Amino acid sequence: MRVRHNEELEVEEANVLPVMNIMFLLIPALLLAMEVASLAAIAVSPPKFAAAPSPKKEEEKKEEKPLKFKVFILDDGFRVTTASQQEGAEAGKEQDSTGPSIPLAKPSADATDYERYDYAALEAKAKELKEIAKHETVVTISAENNIPMAVLINTMDAVRGTECKLLTIKEDEEIPPECLFFQPIVEAGAG
Closest CA to 150 of 51, 64, 42, 62: 42
**SS3 state at 42:** coil
pTM score above 0.85: no
Closest CA to 161 of 116, 131, 191: 131
HSE, side-chain direction, 13 A CA sphere, residue 115 = 6
Spatial separation of the C-alpha atoms in residues 60 and 190, rounded to whole Å = 32
Contact status, residue 157 vs residue 114, Cβ threshold 8 Å? no
Supply the Cα-derived Rg of the chain in whole angstroms. 28
Tens digits of per-residue pLDDT, 46-87?
Answer: 666 655 555 555 555 556 678 889 999 988 889 999 887 644
Q: DSSP assignment of 79-130, as one string?
A: EEE-SS-BTTPPTTSPP-SSS-SEE-S--STTS-TTTSS-HHHHHHHHHHHH
pLDDT in tens, the chain (191 residues): 565 666 677 778 889 999 999 999 999 888 888 877 766 666 676 666 655 555 555 555 556 678 889 999 988 889 999 887 644 444 434 445 667 888 888 766 666 677 888 999 999 999 999 998 888 889 999 988 888 888 999 999 999 998 888 777 777 778 888 889 888 888 877 55
Please give the DSSP secondary-structure letter assigned to residue 172.
T
The kind and range of the H/E element at 153 are helix 149-160
